[in-house]
Every structure is written in C-alpha cells, then in structure tokens.
C-alpha cells in the first residue's frame, strides 16, 4: 500500500521574525514517520489570515491526503487559524456550545486558582469555541480545542501551537477515524549510528556497497561528531533495506555504537541502569550541560547521583579538592586535571563511575598552547580509566555541544566496558 | 522604502523524517529582521532534486526579492541543491577551478591531521566545486562554498546546512552587492518582556489600548512563563509603534522585566557582572539546566563560580552538607530544603548569591501532597532571601524548562534588588 502523503502548515509570525524556534514540525515529522505517513513538505507562514489560507490552499493543491496545522488557536487577536480554515473549506464558523462550556470550566478553575474574575475570560472562551460547521472537535489540553475538518477528499488536522499541548493532543487526532484511515504499516528501516566517523568515509562506504537500489532510500546525517544513517526499503520492495544496512554496518563496524533511534542520553541511562552503575559528573567548560542532558531523561535519578559544575579554579579546589599543584603545574585545562576531577567527584559521591570535562569553550580563555576548542575528558571506574583529548572546531555553543556528546559517549564506553586500559 | 520580501527554502530529508530539528530558519529569520527584510514564508523540502527545484520555483513565483536556501551542499550523494538551482536558473553546471583548489587545500589539511589518504576526497572536492555558470562563490567555512545566483530580477542565496557553517557564512552573503542592495533600515520596534503575566491579561491590555492602528504590527508570544510582546511601526508610519508600546508598558508594568531582545540568561550574566556579584547554584530537578543555560553565554566565567547538581538525597547531604533532619522532616522537595541548599552552596563557593531549585519533574516521584510539577526555588544573598514555590503544568521537559526560567528570573531579581524581604 502506497503511504499517504502529508504536509505541515505551521503558523506563527514570531517564528518568521526569529523570536521563537518552531518545535512542532520536528515532533510531528517523527510521529508521521512512525505511522507510515510520508511527510513531503513543511511550510511556515505568518499569523495573517491571508497567509494562512493561501498556505493551506497551496498545500491542498499538492497531492497530499492530509494537512496538519499548528498554532493560531489562542484567545488573542492574532490567532486566526480557524477563521482561515473556515474560509478555505467553505464552512461557516459557528459557536460549538459544548466546547464553549468545556473551555469555560477550564478558565474558571484557572481564574479561581489565581484569584482573577472569571468574567475577563468570557470573550476568549467564545472565540476559542468557534468551529467550522461540521468539523470534529478534539478536546482541549490547554484552552484551545483541536479540529479535524474534511476538505473534499482531504483532511485537515488543526492542532494548538504550544508544543506540550500539541504533543498531548496528537494521540486524540490519530484516534479520529478520518486520520486513523490514513496510516499504513511504516516501511522497514534500519538505523546505524556512528561516532567520530568522517562523513566522507561514510559516503565512500555507501558508494562502495552500491548505494540505493531497488527503491531503498538512505539518509546520512552528521552533527556533534555523530553520523546517523537510516536505510528504508521502498514500499514496493520491503526487506531490501536490510541487506544494504547490513553491508554498511560491516564496512563501518569500528564506528558503529548503536542501531536504534533512541537518543544518546537515554542509551547512556539505560546502559548504566542495566549494570546497576551510578554516575557522578564534574564539568567545567560544559557548565552542567552533561548533567542537564542526562537528567532530561525520566528515571535518570536511578543512576545519576549528581555532579559538580566547577567553572572557576577556586571551585575546582574548594568543591572537588583538586590539588592546587595539579592546577599550577598543568593548568585547569589538562589531562591531569580532567583525571583528578573525575576521580574526586566519583569518590565524593560514592559513584561507580566518575566522568569529567574541562576545556576552553571560547571565545576568551585561549593561550598559545591551549586554543579555543581544546577539551580534555576523563572517565574512571574501579576497572579502568579512559582519558580523551579533543579539539572541537566552531564557536562556543558548538564546542560545548560536541563536548557534551563526547562526555556521553565516554560514559557509554566505560559503562559497557569498551576499550578498557 | 518598502522592505524587501524574502523566503527560505530549507532542504533536508532528515528534517522531514523527524531525525533532526531545523535550526537555520530561526537564525536566518532573526538576521533578516535585523536587516529590515520581511520574511514571508519558510518551506522545508526533502533532499530530492525535484522537491528542491519545485520548492524553489514556487517561492520565486511569490512576490519575493530573495530566496535563501540552506543545506544540500555536502560531498555525499544526497546533496543536490546546486544541481536543482542550476536547473531552475537555467545555468549549466561548471567546475570552478579556483574553488576546487580552495576546497582541496581544506580537505588536504584535514586528511593530514587524521592520517587519511587525501585521494579519497578528490571526488567530493570536485562535486562541491560545481557551480551554476555565472554564480558568485562565497568562500567555504567547512568544505562547502556558498553561492549568490541571480534568477531574473530575483536573487538566490545558497548556504550550507550545518548551523555553525551557515552562521559564519551569512556575513559574507550579506556583504555581496546583490544582497546588500536589498536591505533597508529595519522599521522601529519595541519589545516588552513580561514574566508570569497571564496571556489573556496581555491580550486584554492590548485590546484596552486600542490594538494595532496606523499599520502597527504587534506579536504576542508566550512560553515558559514569559510573554514577549513586540510592536512594530508600519513602514508608512514610522514612530507609531512607540506610543502603542508605551501604553502597553504602563498597563502591564507589574509584569515587565525587560524591554530588549537579549536572551534572559545573558541579561542575568550582565546584571551580575555590572554589580560585581558572583553566583553559586544548587540544582536538583533541573539537573544542571540552570548552570548550562548561564554558561552558554560567553564570559559567564566572570560571575558563575560553579554549581552542584544534587540529584540524589545522599548528594544533597554529602556534597552540600544539608542537615539530614531537614530532609527527614520536610523532604527534599520543600521550601526548607531549597533554602538550606541555596545557603549551603553560597557558603561553599564563597559567592555573593546562592540560588537553588528542588522539585518533582516527573513522571515518577510524586506523592499525595507533592504532585509532579511542584518546584521550590530559593535565592539568598547578604541582603535578603527570596523563596518561591511554583506548580508547573506539563511533562518532565516542560517542568524543567519552566523551572530553569524561574531560577534565572529569581537570580535576576535578587541581583537587581527587586522585592527584598
């Protein structure tokens, strides 16, 4: 069965003005992929009613079965998505009384909690309860209801803009019969994740094994020292991807660290938990970024005992008890200091594993022998020590991101027992 | 002078498949806004040559003076942007010898550093040196050169996909005469940033002061407890925004904390630095997120001494010396524990200000009296103590994001001396 094609219409002048970053398209893209729906285009337009209706009409002219919109459902004057959809679908706007009561109950609770007069919400409640006649309503997560609207043979799914509202509403949209009918079994896919493989080496390997054949579709995506390869079988030739992926895995074996889509931080937490290992972190140039990445994952508290952000030299001495001679002789950005930091934090927190990062994120702080981007990492356990020195290119944020990834990879390696020295 | 209209064409199958999030459109949107160029549409298409050329042709049919593309310039098989642009512009592809030599010099250095045979790069070097005849070349940041291509009266600017390459190349594009000619003085704009103002209260205030008039354009954008209002004057009526913004500021005065676009973390660093204050952090449920947000800012090391991520109760006791009785009587998620954490970390690091966060980010860890989302914060200095209790709605990541913002706001408040108790 040929997959349904879909498009996204994201509304928001604040996105076009660079005030906020769109987060919804990344989430919806992943969800559609899992449902075997082929996302062909994402379009971002302003909050103007004309921009929304033109954007929607353009997308409906493409050969797509579904358009999903996000944003423009709030109570304020610049929330105009529903009005635009009414226009494009040729359906008049009507107040849905059941929805209005549902919204009023939500705003009443809110008003009571904050001690505000509920009357100020009345106009917003009614505005948010206006729907194109005949549309199905998806119950609100915040105060904005979603919609499923048929436009000829196509379906338009209308979702709110705030990312957590959109995510909570998405399953309700998927459960709607008009939407559920569009999903197909996702084509088989094979993920290969590589660390510190040159992208050109991956491209060469791909060419050497023959490249895409029989409808396979391969994407190669690099960032933060990682390369992710995803091979998909064509819908006409299921199973073709498996052989290609297996040849690639073989050729690039020394770089492969995972064959699943799970985020790296989640892999690290899982590997630690499976082995009942605990982790302590000492961070300098990443400033808490490694700890923050790990603690985003639910259940991190089982394995991450804590960490120290020892940004200043005094903090390295006072909080970690780093020998001032190490700092004086080698400097804070050195293999010796990284090793001392990892060992000290492990000991202080009684953890199975200690991991440290110290480096020069820039733009200031470089010396003739220690350029911006120079980073020392260290992982230590009862069994072994893994030191690592890297020079990451790019501005401050890039150096920090690469250093966080390197620290997570080092943690993974020591947890699973790779490269014991 | 009417501002030039522009559109972005972002290419990347990995974006449509939800494997990575597009970061370039947010950056370019902000840059264009600063140049007085009006971004009307962002379109994201796959790496397929057809998708790129259709996307580009569609955008060129809109009334835009410039289309900026990002991505698809790499050495691998799925980098097809230049080919598509050659097709749409009707210019044949030719190898630009000067560019090929420039790229070869870069890949030679890279090969030498890694001890790889330079020969493996030859095909990629030549592929990346192919340009539509007559196009201007922007010198590469990585290995991919950018392009400025005239298509009739419109101009297409071709930039690489990796965000740090794109950001470094952007000034080179802006300096190109064809592009520089499109910039205008940006219209005057007025930013008002509010913390913990209900969005409906902001909408009401906007209606009360008369809403947009005489071509002003106002956006209201909420997230993480913040609302940002930006008022712009219409190009025909400069100065009209000032009066509207001033009326709004007056009405919402108690929520206003800033009238500039600077990120909150940068404001906090600046306020601390101006007063020669130093900061120490103790984080539980945010897991290093506050420290990471602050240390993203260059020069954070002047004011952020360090922090502790005391995720486990033992860490709170061992690293911070929190009295076990506080933990036993009040629990780790309590106002008493937050106060003890802030005071202890301030003392340990000899900082002017100590700030702490402890809460239940979820999904686990809730009790009947302590639901997911309950967060206690505390800021302490010689002069005063600021305790704060909040209940943030939403899943783990949202609770953490809101808690990080709340901690940054609390730090700002104690630094500038608001609300001393």
**What separation in angstroms does the CA of A56 have from each of A8, A53, A91, B11, B180?**
9, 5, 15, 20, 33
CB-based contact B30 A23, cutoff 8 Å? no
Confidence of residue B420 (pLDDT cuts 50, 70, 90): very low
CB < 8 Å from B in window 9-68 of A = 12-23, 25-33, 39-47, 51, 55, 58
Please report where in the chains the tokens 């240390």 appear, as a residue. B295
Q: Minimal CA–CA distance to A417: which of A372, A378, A386, A375?
A: A386
> Is A79 part of the contact surface with chain B (CB cutoff 8 Å)?
no
* Average pLDDT score, chain A: 91
Q: For chain B, how big is the Rg over CA atoms in Å?
A: 26
Confidence of residue A396 (pLDDT cuts 50, 70, 90): very high
Nearest neighbour of A124 by CB, restricted to B200, B296, B312:
B200
Contacts of B348 in chain A (CB under 8 A): 318-319
* Structural contact between residues A279 and A304, judged by C-beta atoms closer than 8 angstroms: yes
Q: Minimal CA–CA distance to A174: which of A64, A272, A34?
A: A34
pLDDT in tens, B333-357: 999 999 999 999 999 999 999 999 9
Q: By CA distance, what is B307's nearest residue in A?
A: A309
Query: Mean pLDDT across the stretch B169-178?
Result: 95
CA dihedral over B167, B171, B176, B181, signed as positive or negative: positive
The gap from C-alpha A337 to its chain's centroid, in whole angstroms, comes to 33
pLDDT of residue A3: 80
B219 Cβ contact partners less than 8 Å away, ≥ 6 residues apart: A13, A14, A17, A19, A47, A78, B228, B229, B230
Position B192 pLDDT exceeds 60: yes
pLDDT in tens, A239-281: 789 999 999 999 999 999 999 989 999 999 999 999 999 999 9
* Structural contact between residues B222 and B199, judged by C-beta atoms closer than 8 angstroms: yes
Confidence of residue A195 (pLDDT cuts 50, 70, 90): very high
Position A77 pLDDT exceeds 80: no
pLDDT of residue B1: 58
**Helix or strand holding residue A227 (H, E):** strand A226-232
Rounded to 10 degrees, what is the CA torsion of B330, B335, B338, B342?
Answer: -130
Give how far A227 is from chain B: nearest CA, Å: 11
Nearest neighbour of A18 by CB, restricted to B26, B298, B305:
B26
CB pairs under 8 A between A and B: 336
Position A1 pLDDT exceeds 70: no
Give how far A399 is from chain B: nearest CA, Å: 10
pLDDT of residue B158: 97
User: Whole-prediction pTM value?
Assistant: 0.85
pLDDT of residue B421: 43
Position B408 pLDDT exceeds 90: yes
The bridge status of strand B226-232 relative to strand B217-223 is: antiparallel
Cα(A48)–Cα(A213) distance, rounded to whole angstroms? Answer: 45
> Is A287 part of the contact surface with chain B (CB cutoff 8 Å)?
yes
Cα(A248)–Cα(A256) distance, rounded to whole angstroms? Answer: 10
* Structural contact between residues B38 and B66, judged by C-beta atoms closer than 8 angstroms: no
**Backbone φ/ψ region at A198: left (φ over 0), alpha (ψ -120 to 50), beta:** beta
Position A395 pLDDT exceeds 80: yes
pLDDT of residue B404: 97
Tokens standing for B18? 């939800």
Q: Minimal CA–CA distance to B252: which of B306, B190, B318?
A: B190
> Is B357 part of the contact surface with chain A (CB cutoff 8 Å)?
no
Position B235 pLDDT exceeds 80: no
pLDDT in tens, A16-63: 988 788 999 999 999 998 888 999 999 999 988 899 999 999 999 988
Query: Mean pLDDT across the stretch B22-36?
Result: 92
> In this predicted structure, which of A412-421, B23-32, B46-55 has the lowest mean pLDDT?
A412-421
The bridge status of strand B154-159 relative to strand B146-151 is: antiparallel
**Helix or strand holding residue A356 (H, E):** strand A353-359
> In this predicted structure, which of A360-364, B219-223, B361-365, B380-384 has the lowest mean pLDDT?
B219-223
pLDDT in tens, A321-357: 899 999 999 999 999 999 999 999 999 999 999 999 9
* Average pLDDT score, chain B: 91
> In this predicted structure, which of A387-391, B70-74, B106-110, B351-355 has the lowest mean pLDDT?
B106-110
Q: Which of B44, B123, B352 to mutate against chain A (most A CBs within 10 Å)?
A: B44
* Structural contact between residues A155 and A136, judged by C-beta atoms closer than 8 angstroms: no
* Structural contact between residues B199 and A75, judged by C-beta atoms closer than 8 angstroms: yes
Position A420 pLDDT exceeds 60: no
The bridge status of strand B154-159 relative to strand A256-258 is: unpaired
β-sheet bridge partners, residue B146:
B138
Nearest neighbour of A295 by CB, restricted to B228, B287, B298:
B287
Cα(A206)–Cα(A212) distance, rounded to whole angstroms? Answer: 8
Which phi and psi angles does A291 have, rounded to 5°? -60, -45
Q: By CA distance, what is B43's nearest residue in A?
A: A43
Nearest neighbour of A300 by CB, restricted to B17, B287, B349:
B287
The gap from C-alpha B144 to its chain's centroid, in whole angstroms, comes to 24
Query: Mean pLDDT across the stretch B271-295?
Result: 96
> Is B389 part of the contact surface with chain A (CB cutoff 8 Å)?
no
Q: Minimal CA–CA distance to A161: which of A76, A244, A225?
A: A76
**Helix or strand holding residue A365 (H, E):** none
> Is A318 part of the contact surface with chain B (CB cutoff 8 Å)?
yes
Confidence of residue A421 (pLDDT cuts 50, 70, 90): very low
Nearest neighbour of B348 by CB, restricted to A107, A281, A318:
A318
Q: What percent of chain B lies above the pLDDT cut of 70?
A: 98
Query: Mean pLDDT across the stretch A232-237?
Result: 79
Count CB atoms within 10 A of the CB of residue B300: 23
Is the link from the previous residue into A174 a cis peptide, with omega within 30 of 0? no
Cα(B2)–Cα(B64) distance, rounded to whole angstroms? Answer: 12
* Structural contact between residues A232 and A189, judged by C-beta atoms closer than 8 angstroms: yes
> In this predicted structure, which of A210-219, B55-64, B94-103 has the lowest mean pLDDT?
A210-219
CB-based contact B300 A288, cutoff 8 Å? no
Count CB atoms within 10 A of the CB of residue B201: 17
Tokens standing for B31? 């840059």
């Amino acid at each position: 069965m040929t997959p349904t094609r879909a498009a996204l219409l994201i509304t928001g002048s604040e996105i076009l003005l660079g005030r906020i970053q769109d987060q919804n398209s990344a989430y919806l893209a992943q969800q559609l992929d899992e449902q075997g729906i082929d996302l062909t285009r994402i379009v971002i337009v302003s909050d103007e009613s004309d921009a929304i209706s033109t954007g929607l009409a353009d997308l409906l002219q493409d050969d797509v079965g579904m358009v999903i919109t996000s944003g423009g459902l709030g109570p304020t004057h610049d929330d105009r998505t529903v009005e635009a959809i009414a226009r494009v679908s040729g359906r008049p706007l009507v107040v849905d009384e059941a929805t209005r009561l549902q919204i009023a109950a939500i705003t009443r609770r809110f008003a009571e909690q904050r001690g505000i007069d509920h009357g100020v919400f009345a106009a917003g409640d009614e505005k948010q309860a206006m729907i194109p006649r005949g549309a199905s309503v998806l119950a609100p997560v915040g105060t904005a209801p979603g919609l499923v609207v048929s436009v000829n043979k196509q379906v338009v799914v209308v979702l709110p803009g705030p990312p957590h509202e959109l995510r909570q509403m998405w399953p309700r949209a998927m459960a709607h019969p008009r939407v559920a009918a569009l999903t197909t079994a996702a084509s088989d896919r094979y993920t290969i994740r590589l660390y510190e493989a040159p992208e050109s080496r991956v491209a060469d390997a791909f060419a050497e094994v023959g490249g895409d054949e029989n409808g396979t579709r391969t994407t190669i995506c690099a960032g933060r020292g990682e390369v992710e390869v995803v091979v998909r079988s064509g819908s006409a030739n299921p199973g073709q991807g498996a052989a290609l992926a297996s040849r690639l895995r073989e050729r690039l074996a020394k770089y492969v660290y995972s064959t699943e889509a799970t985020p790296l931080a989640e892999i690290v937490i899982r590997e630690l938990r499976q082995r009942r290992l605990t982790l302590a972190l000492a961070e300098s140039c990443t400033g808490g970024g490694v700890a923050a990445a790990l603690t985003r994952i639910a259940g991190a508290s089982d394995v991450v005992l804590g960490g120290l952000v020892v940004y200043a030299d005094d903090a390295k001495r006072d909080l970690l008890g780093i020998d001032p001679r190490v700092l004086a002789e080698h400097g804070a950005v050195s293999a010796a200091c990284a090793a001392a930091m990892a060992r000290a934090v492990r000991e202080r927190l009684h953890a199975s594993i200690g991991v440290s990062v110290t480096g020069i994120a820039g733009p200031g702080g470089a010396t003739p022998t220690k350029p911006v981007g120079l980073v020392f990492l260290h992982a230590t356990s009862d069994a072994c020590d893994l030191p690592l020195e890297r020079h990451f290119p790019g501005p401050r944020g890039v150096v920090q991101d690469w250093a966080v990834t390197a620290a997570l990879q080092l943690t993974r390696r020591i947890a699973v027992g790779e490269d014991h020295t």
